[in-house]
Amino acid sequence: MLKVGIVGATGYTGAELLRILSNHNGVQVVLITSRAEQGKPVAELYPNLRQHCDLVFEAPTAEKISLLDVVFFATPHGVAQSMMTDIAKHDVVVIDLSADFRIRDQAVWEQWYQQPHGAPALIKEAVYGLPEFNRKDIRTADIIACPGCYPTSVQLGLKPLLEQGAIELDNIIVNAASGVTGAGRSAKVANLFTEVHDSFKAYGSTGHRHLPEIKQGLSDMAGEYVDLTFVPHLLPMARGIHATIYVRLTRQIDVQKVYSEAYADEPFVDVLPAGSHPETRSVKGTNTCRLAVNRAPEGNTLVVMSVIDNLCKGAAGQAIQCMNIRFGLPENEGLEAAALMP
Amino acid sequence: MLKVGIVGATGYTGAELLRILSNHNGVQVVLITSRAEQGKPVAELYPNLRQHCDLVFEAPTAEKISLLDVVFFATPHGVAQSMMTDIAKHDVVVIDLSADFRIRDQAVWEQWYQQPHGAPALIKEAVYGLPEFNRKDIRTADIIACPGCYPTSVQLGLKPLLEQGAIELDNIIVNAASGVTGAGRSAKVANLFTEVHDSFKAYGSTGHRHLPEIKQGLSDMAGEYVDLTFVPHLLPMARGIHATIYVRLTRQIDVQKVYSEAYADEPFVDVLPAGSHPETRSVKGTNTCRLAVNRAPEGNTLVVMSVIDNLCKGAAGQAIQCMNIRFGLPENEGLEAAALMP
Amino acid sequence: MLKVGIVGATGYTGAELLRILSNHNGVQVVLITSRAEQGKPVAELYPNLRQHCDLVFEAPTAEKISLLDVVFFATPHGVAQSMMTDIAKHDVVVIDLSADFRIRDQAVWEQWYQQPHGAPALIKEAVYGLPEFNRKDIRTADIIACPGCYPTSVQLGLKPLLEQGAIELDNIIVNAASGVTGAGRSAKVANLFTEVHDSFKAYGSTGHRHLPEIKQGLSDMAGEYVDLTFVPHLLPMARGIHATIYVRLTRQIDVQKVYSEAYADEPFVDVLPAGSHPETRSVKGTNTCRLAVNRAPEGNTLVVMSVIDNLCKGAAGQAIQCMNIRFGLPENEGLEAAALMP
Amino acid sequence: MLKVGIVGATGYTGAELLRILSNHNGVQVVLITSRAEQGKPVAELYPNLRQHCDLVFEAPTAEKISLLDVVFFATPHGVAQSMMTDIAKHDVVVIDLSADFRIRDQAVWEQWYQQPHGAPALIKEAVYGLPEFNRKDIRTADIIACPGCYPTSVQLGLKPLLEQGAIELDNIIVNAASGVTGAGRSAKVANLFTEVHDSFKAYGSTGHRHLPEIKQGLSDMAGEYVDLTFVPHLLPMARGIHATIYVRLTRQIDVQKVYSEAYADEPFVDVLPAGSHPETRSVKGTNTCRLAVNRAPEGNTLVVMSVIDNLCKGAAGQAIQCMNIRFGLPENEGLEAAALMP
C-alpha cells in the first residue's frame, strides 16, 4: 500500500482526490493538510466523505511529506514551487495538480502568473502528466505536472489531427465551457449561486492562463508551433468541460478512422460514432474523455467536441491515473465507476 | 457469479441498476429487456454505460427469465404482477422495484392503483425489502418488494421513535421533496426542463400513492395504527429526496442517543450530530440515508430530516442491497462509492 | 414625482427596488448609497440596469436623506436603527426593508439579534408594512417596517383561517423553502453555486430569526397567542418562497369560500381553485402571492400553500406597494407586470 | 387600440407574446387560438397570466383572423404558409414568428425544411423583420417574417463589421448556445429536465436550419456572399442565447467605435465597454441585445459576443417591436422593463 498525502485538501480537487482514493485498493491516505482548517475532520467540510475518510487536516511540513511515497499538491499556483526544493531531497513522488510546473519556459510562466518562479531549477525535472501523450516518461518521473482542465480537453481533442499533420496550424478556434467547480471553493461574489445560476457568459477572451499551456502541448504534438484562439465560458452547472474546436483540414483523411485508431488502446478516451455530440454529464465523476468529430455542412472545417469532468480527468482523476502508471498499478485502479445518469 | 436480468431497463431505475451492477463483483448481467427498444444497445440511451455494458434490449419472456438467478423488475406497476405467476414456477428470485407487492392489503392496493391486482395469491409471499427492518426475512425471500422512495426516507426517519413508543401516532406531518427523476423518463410536458427548472411546488396534497405504503410501514414499526399527513414536492434537481418530518414527543428521551444506537450497526444509515441538517447531495449516487433530528425551539416537537438518493437507496441501490442479503454476499458489495461533492 | 433614495443599494433587495422603480411613473430615484462602492455606477454591478439607471453610489448621510420624500433601507439589520433618530427629525418617510422595526417587543428583538436596539424610542412609531392586514395604518405611517420574506408568505397563508378562529393555535407547522437570493449577496462559501446547486437541505430548524416575527403577526391576526414550528429550507434556485403550512380545523368551514372572500379585493393575493398547487415561478418578479388550500386525504388537517417572490412581495415589491399606499398612488403602480414563464 | 390575435398561443413564444402584450398600451388581444386546447383558458396553462389575460383558446379560422388588425403566427413551420393565401385577401398585417417566410430562395427553404412551400407567391411580399437592418421596409409591410433566435443574435453581432467590409467573409465561426425554451413545449424525452439539467452538449453540428437564414442575412449586410460555420449548443437553463463569433480582420479599425456608432440610435442594442463579457441573464425577459467585442491575445482575430433572450428579442419581443414600427407606435411600447437580476 502506497502511503499518500494531499497538500491543500480543502479545495474541490483535494476532496475529489479523497473521494476517488477512498475506493482505491493500492493506497492508504495518511496525510491531508490545510493551514486554515487544522484540526478539523475533512468530513465536516465534505459530508459525502463521512464513513469514508476519518482524517483531520494538519499543517503541511516537508518532514511529514518526506515520509510519504507520493504527495499530491492540490493547491493554488505558487505553493508547490515554494515547498518543492525541500521535498525534492527526499524519495517522494510529487504529483502537482497546480500550474507550477506545467510550462517549460520559465519566462512564459512568470509573464502569465505575474510572479517569479519559486523553483526554476526543477522545471526541467517535471514531466507533463498527460498519459495519452507522455505515458512512458510518467513511468519514471519524480515530479509530475498534471495538465489543466481546459488543456486536457483540448489536447486530447486535437492530438490525432496534429500527429497526422492534417490541419492548418494557424487557424484553430477553441470555444470551451466549464462548470463552476473550475473556479474553486473560494468565497467570491462572482461565484455565488445567485450570480451564476440560469445564465451563461464568456470570460477571459483577452487572455487566459491556460492558453500558453495549450499552445505548448499542441506544439509538442504537432512538432511545430501551433497558434490558436481560446475563449472559455462559464456554465450554470457544477462539473464538466465541453470544448468545441474548429479546425481546417489541409488534406482529406478518414477522420473517424484516425480518431478511433489513435485512441484504440486508451482506457480513458472514448471516440463516439460519427454524427454524435458528447454530453458533459456522460463523464461526470469519471476519468473518461468522450470525443466526437463532425464535418461542418460545407467546406473543410471540422468540429471536434471533447468532454471531460474538470475535477476528474481534468484534475484528480488524471493525477491518480498518473500515480497508477508511475507505481506500476493497473492504470484504471480506482477509476472504473460509470457516471451517474441522470 | 449470479446471473442477473432486468425487466424494463430503459427507465432511470433500470439504468441505475446497470450502473451499480457494472461495478459489482458477484454478478453478471445477462438480460435486459424492453419491448419498445428491442435490438438497441443500452449505451445508445445511456452513454455513461459505454465501455461498461454491451447488452442489447430484448423482449421479456418467462423462459428467458427462468434461466436467471435473480430478476429485477424496474417497470411501471402492473407489469411484475402480470408475469409473476409464470415466473414463480421457476427457481428465480424476484426483486420488484415497482409498487406491485408492497401493500399487503389487496383492497387497499386496488383502491389506490385503480385496477385489479394481477397476482393476489402471491402477495403474501412477498417480503418488504427494507433491510433495516426486515433483514432476516429478506434472507429467505423469493419475492422481494422493494420500498418506494418516499417510504424509504420516511420509515428510516421514524423507525427509532416508533420502536421507542415515544411519539404521538396521530400527529405526524411528513413534508417531503423529490428530484425530478422520481417522475421517471416518460415524455410529459409537466416534466420538461422548461416546466420544472428554477421553480418549486407541492403536488398530490390530496392523496399520493405512497401514503398507504408509508402508513403500513410505520404501523408495522409501531405495532399499532399510525396516521400521518404526507405532502410531496417537486425540486428543480435530478436526484434526491429530503423528508422533513414533524412529530410530538409523548415523553422525554435522549433523541440523539436513540438514533445513534438504533442505527449503530447499519452500513447505510448515517446519523449526523445534533444540530445538523443533511444535504441531499451528500448521498447522491449512494445507498446511504443520512438523518438528523433536532428539537424545535419550544415545546415537544421534533424535526427529523432524512435524505436519500431516490434512484439508489430509494430504488436500485436498496434492491441490490436486498440481493446481496438474499444471496449471502457482503451487504455493501457494489455500494461502497462515496457521493460526488460538489 | 416623489424624490426617492435607497440606502444599501448594492444588495439584491436594493437592486430589485431599482428595477421596479425604473418603470414606476410616480417617482424619481435621486440617491443610491453604498459605503463600499462609492463612485461606482450601479450598472457596473447590475448590467440589467444599463439604460435604465445612471446613478452612482454615494456615501449615505442624514443630510442627503433629509432632502428626499421617501427613503428605503435595504440594509442589514442595525443600519436603519443607527440612522433613524437623525432621520426622524426630517419630513422623510422611511420604508425599512430590514428587521430593525418589525418586532414590537424590544427584548425579543434584542434576544434574537443579539445586540441592543439602536432606536428603541421609535419602535412604537413603526407600522408593520403588510398591506393586506395594515393598509389603513400604512396610509399615515412615517416609519414602515416591511415584513420579512418568510413572514409575508406565512401570514398571507394563514390570515383567513386565523380571522375565522377555525384552527388549533398550538398545532401549526410551517415548512418553508426559499431560493438563494434570500441569503443576500455576501461572499460566503455556503452560498457558492458549487455548494447549493443540485441539492436541498433544511437550516435553522433549532431557531430562525423570522420565527418571532411570524408569531407576532399570526397572534395579531388571531387576537390571541399563536405558536408554531417553523423550518426553512434552501432551494437550488434564485428566487421564490414556498410555504407549506399544516393546520388542524376546529370546526368545519368552506375553506375555499373563506379564502376567496378574504382576498376578493386584494390586488396582489390570488387564491387558486381547490386542488391546485401554486408554483414559485408563477410569481417570479411580481408582487403577487398565490395561495391554494387543500384538505389532506383523511382527518381535519388542511394544507395551505403560499408562494411569493422573496425579493419582490417578500421585500422590494411590498415596500413599493407600501409607498404607493402611503402617498396615495395607485396601489399597483410599477407592479403590474406578469411573471416570466418559463 | 389595435385588435390583435395570436395563432398557436399554447407554445412558449405565444405565451411570451401574451405576457408582453398584457402590459402594452396600444393593443387589445382579442383572439388566441389552439386546435388542441380549444375551450381552455390560457391561464390554466400559464398561471403567470392569471389576472392578466382572461382569453380562452379557440380554433383558428381565416374569418376570425380577417377581423383583426394584426395577427401573430407563433406556430411550427408550415402553418402560416397554409393559411396565408386566405389571410392575404384581407386587411390584416401578418407577423410570422415561424420560419415560413424568412428564406427568400424557395428551393433553399424546401431543401432545409423537407417539404414544398405552401405559399410561394407570397414569399417576395414578406419583409424580414430585423428592425436594425430593415426598419424602413417594416413600416409598410403586410407580411413580416420575424428572424429566428440564433440568426438575430448573429446578425446583430456582425452587422457593423460587415458594413465596414473589414473581415474575411469565408472564415467566420459562430459558436452559439441556447436555453431549452428554444426547443419549444412539445413533450420529448430529449427535453426532459432529467435529460438536460446539469449538462451541456452541442447539436446540429452537421447542419442546422438556422444556417441558411444566417447566411442570407449576413450576405445582405455584406453585399456579397458570406460563408460561416455554425454550431449550436444546449444550455441547462431556460432562456437566453449566447453567440460567440470568431472573425478575422482584413484591416485595422477602431472596433469599439465602429460598434458604438453603428448602434448609437438603436433602442434595443447595447454595446458594452471594451473588455466586457455580456451575460445572458442581463437580457432575460427583455428585448435587448447586449454586445461586446474583444480582440484575441494575438493576431487579428476578433471575438464578438452577443446575448439575447431567445423568446423575446429572438421571437416575441422582436415581433412586437416590428408591430410597433409598422403601426407607428413608440418602438419600445411594452418593451421597457429591465431584466430580473438575479
Residue with cell 433491510: B131
Q: Nearest CA to CA, how far is B272 from chain D (Å)?
A: 28
pLDDT score of B113: 97
Give the pairing of strands B173-178 and B241-248. antiparallel
Q: What is the pLDDT of residues A256-303, one digit of tens each?
A: 999 999 999 999 999 999 999 999 999 999 999 999 999 999 889 999
CA atoms of B78 and B89, how far apart (whole Å) = 19
Q: Which residues from C are below 8 Å from B202, CB to CB?
A: 242, 244, 277, 303, 305
Amino acid sitting at position C253? I
Could D200 and A240 be called an inter-chain contact, meaning their C-beta atoms sit closer than 8 Å? yes
To the query of whether residue B149 is one of the catalytic residues in this protein, the response is yes
The CATH number assigned to the domain with range D150-309 reads 3.30.360.10
pLDDT score of A54: 96
Residue A19 in contact with partner chain B when CB distance is under 8 A: yes
Could C189 and A187 be called an inter-chain contact, meaning their C-beta atoms sit closer than 8 Å? yes
CA atoms of B318 and B148, how far apart (whole Å) = 10
CB C10 within 8 A of CB C57: yes
Domain residue spans of chain D: 2-146+313-326, 150-309
Torsion angle of C-alpha atoms A202, A207, A210, A213, degrees rounded to 10: 150
Note the CATH architecture for domain D2-146+313-326. Answer: 3-Layer(aba) Sandwich (3.40)
What is the crossing angle of helices C12-21 and C317-326, to 10°?
A: 50
pLDDT score of A298: 80
How many Cβ atoms sit within 10 Å of the Cβ of residue B124?
10
Q: Is the pLDDT of residue B216 over 90?
A: yes
Q: Which residues from C are below 8 Å from B206, CB to CB?
A: 275, 294-297
pLDDT score of D327: 98
> From residue C315, how far is each of C125, C152, C239, D269 by CA, in Å?
20, 9, 12, 31
How many Å separate Cα B218 from the centre of its chain?
Answer: 15
Could C48 and D272 be called an inter-chain contact, meaning their C-beta atoms sit closer than 8 Å? no
Question: What one-character-per-residue DSSP string does A170-200 give?
Answer: T--EEEEEE-GGGG-S---GGGBHHHHTT--
Nearest CB to B277; choose among C177, C203, C229: C203
Q: Which residues are paired to C303 by β-bridges?
A: C246, C294
Could C195 and A193 be called an inter-chain contact, meaning their C-beta atoms sit closer than 8 Å? yes
Write the burial class of residue C149 (CB in 10 Å: 0-12 exposed, 13-18 middle, 19+ buried). buried
**Which among C71, C80, C78 is positioned nearest to C32, based on CA atoms?**
C71
CB A201 within 8 A of CB D278: yes
CB C99 within 8 A of CB C74: no
Nearest CB to B189; choose among D180, D187, D196: D187
Residue C49 in contact with partner chain D when CB distance is under 8 A: yes
Give the pairing of strands B201-202 and B143-145. unpaired
- Look up residue C288 and give its three cell numbers: 403577487
* Closest chain D residue to C240, measured at CA: D342
Residue A62 in contact with partner chain D when CB distance is under 8 A: no
Q: Is the pLDDT of residue B251 over 90?
A: yes
Nearest CB to B299; choose among C227, C240, C279: C227
Per the document, the length of chain D is: 342
CA atoms of D95 and C107, how far apart (whole Å) = 64
Question: What one-character-per-residue DSSP string does D245-279 give?
Answer: EEEEBSS---HHHHHHHHTTT-TTEEEPPTT----
**Which among D237, A237, A188 is positioned nearest to C185, based on CA atoms?**
A188
Q: Is the pLDDT of residue B298 over 90?
A: no
- Look up residue C143 and give its three cell numbers: 416609519
Could C237 and B299 be called an inter-chain contact, meaning their C-beta atoms sit closer than 8 Å? no
Residue B305 in contact with partner chain C when CB distance is under 8 A: yes
What is the crossing angle of helices D149-164 and D255-262, to 10°?
A: 120
Per the document, the length of chain C is: 342
Instruction: Name the strand (E) or helix (H) holding C177.
Output: strand C173-178
Residue with cell 492508504: A28
Could C193 and A188 be called an inter-chain contact, meaning their C-beta atoms sit closer than 8 Å? no
**Which among C174, C171, C145 is positioned nearest to C157, based on CA atoms?**
C174
Could you list the pLDDT tens digit for every one of the 342 residues in chain D? 999 999 999 999 999 999 999 999 999 999 999 999 999 999 999 999 999 999 999 999 999 999 999 999 999 999 999 999 999 999 999 999 999 999 999 999 999 999 999 999 999 999 999 999 999 999 999 999 999 999 999 999 999 999 999 999 999 999 999 999 999 999 999 999 999 999 999 999 999 999 999 999 999 999 999 999 999 999 999 999 999 999 999 999 999 999 999 999 999 999 999 999 999 999 999 999 999 999 999 889 999 999 999 999 999 999 999 999 999 999 999 999 999 999
CA atoms of D310 and D281, how far apart (whole Å) = 11
3-class DSSP assignment, residue A203 = coil
pLDDT score of C217: 98
Q: Which residues from B are below 8 Å from D197, CB to CB?
A: 180, 193, 197, 236-238
pLDDT score of B76: 96
Mean pLDDT score, B120-131: 98
Could C211 and B297 be called an inter-chain contact, meaning their C-beta atoms sit closer than 8 Å? yes
Buried b (16+ CB within 10 A) or exposed e, B211-228: bbbbbbbbebbbeeebbb
Q: List the alpha helices (DSSP H) in D10-77.
A: 12-21, 42-45, 62-66
pLDDT score of A299: 82
pLDDT score of C299: 82
CB D214 within 8 A of CB D154: yes
pLDDT score of D298: 80
Nearest CB to D237; choose among A199, A294, A299: A199
Q: Which residues are paired to D2 by β-bridges?
A: D27
Give B292's contacts (C-beta < 8 A, 6+ positions apart): B271, B272, B273, B274, B275, B276, B277, B278, B304, B305
pLDDT score of D1: 93
- Look up residue B169 and give its three cell numbers: 401516532
**Chains touching C, CB cut-off 8 Å, 3+ pairs:** A, B, D
Mean pLDDT score, A26-47: 97
Instruction: Name the strand (E) or helix (H) holding A281.
Output: none
Those of residues 147-166 in A touching chain D at CB distance below 8 A are none
Torsion angle of C-alpha atoms C52, C58, C63, C68, degrees rounded to 10: 10
Mean pLDDT score, A71-92: 96
Q: Nearest CA to CA, how far is B245 from chain A (Å)?
A: 21
Mean pLDDT score, B81-96: 96
CA atoms of B334 and D181, how far apart (whole Å) = 39
Q: Best mutation site among A53, A271, A340 for testing chain B: the one with the most B CBs within 10 Å? A: A340
pLDDT score of D299: 82
- Look up residue C261 and give its three cell numbers: 372572500
Q: Is the pLDDT of residue B290 over 90?
A: yes
- Look up residue B341 and give its three cell numbers: 461533492
Q: Which of the residues D146, D149, D289, D322 is marked catalytic?
A: D149
3-class DSSP assignment, residue A126 = strand
Q: What are phi and psi of C97, to 5 degrees?
A: -90, -5
Residue A12 in contact with partner chain B when CB distance is under 8 A: yes
**Which among C269, C334, C273, C342 is positioned nearest to C308, based on CA atoms?**
C269
As a whole number of Å, the CA-based R_g of chain A is 19
* Closest chain D residue to C52, measured at CA: D338
CA atoms of B126 and B113, how far apart (whole Å) = 18
For chain D, the 3-state helix, strand and coil shares in percent, each to the nearest 5, are 35, 20, 45
CA atoms of B87 and B109, how far apart (whole Å) = 21
B-C C-beta contacts closer than 8 Å: 142
Q: Nearest CA to CA, how far is A82 from chain B (Å)?
A: 29
For chain B, the 3-state helix, strand and coil shares in percent, each to the nearest 5, are 35, 20, 45
Q: What are phi and psi of D315, to 5 degrees?
A: -160, -95
Mean pLDDT score, A38-56: 97
Q: Which residues from C are below 8 Å from D48, CB to CB?
A: 281-284, 286, 338-341
Instruction: Name the strand (E) or helix (H) holding A319.
Output: helix A317-326
CB D269 within 8 A of CB D153: no
> From residue B170, how far is each of B227, B247, B265, D132 by CA, in Å?
5, 9, 30, 67
Residues of chain C with pLDDT under 50: none
How many Å separate Cα D32 from the centre of its chain?
Answer: 20
Q: Nearest CA to CA, how far is B282 from chain C (Å)?
A: 8
Q: What is the pLDDT of residues A146-184, one digit of tens each?
A: 999 999 999 999 999 999 999 999 999 999 999 999 999
Note the CATH architecture for domain C2-147+313-326. Answer: 3-Layer(aba) Sandwich (3.40)
Residue C297 in contact with partner chain D when CB distance is under 8 A: no
Give the HSE-up count for residue B14: Cα atoms under 13 Å, Cβ half-sphere. Answer: 25
Could D12 and C339 be called an inter-chain contact, meaning their C-beta atoms sit closer than 8 Å? no
Give C62's contacts (C-beta < 8 A, 6+ positions apart): C83, C86, C87, C90
Write the burial class of residue C170 (CB in 10 Å: 0-12 exposed, 13-18 middle, 19+ buried). exposed
- Look up residue C73 and give its three cell numbers: 433601507
CB D299 within 8 A of CB D285: no
- Computed over every residue of chain B, the mean pLDDT equals 97
Give the HSE-up count for residue D10: Cα atoms under 13 Å, Cβ half-sphere. Answer: 21
Share of chain A above pLDDT 90, in %: 99
A-C C-beta contacts closer than 8 Å: 60
**Which among D117, D57, D119, D127 is positioned nearest to D88, based on CA atoms?**
D119
pLDDT score of B299: 82
First to last CA, chain C: 35
Q: Which residues from D are below 8 Å from A229, CB to CB?
A: 246, 296, 299, 301, 303
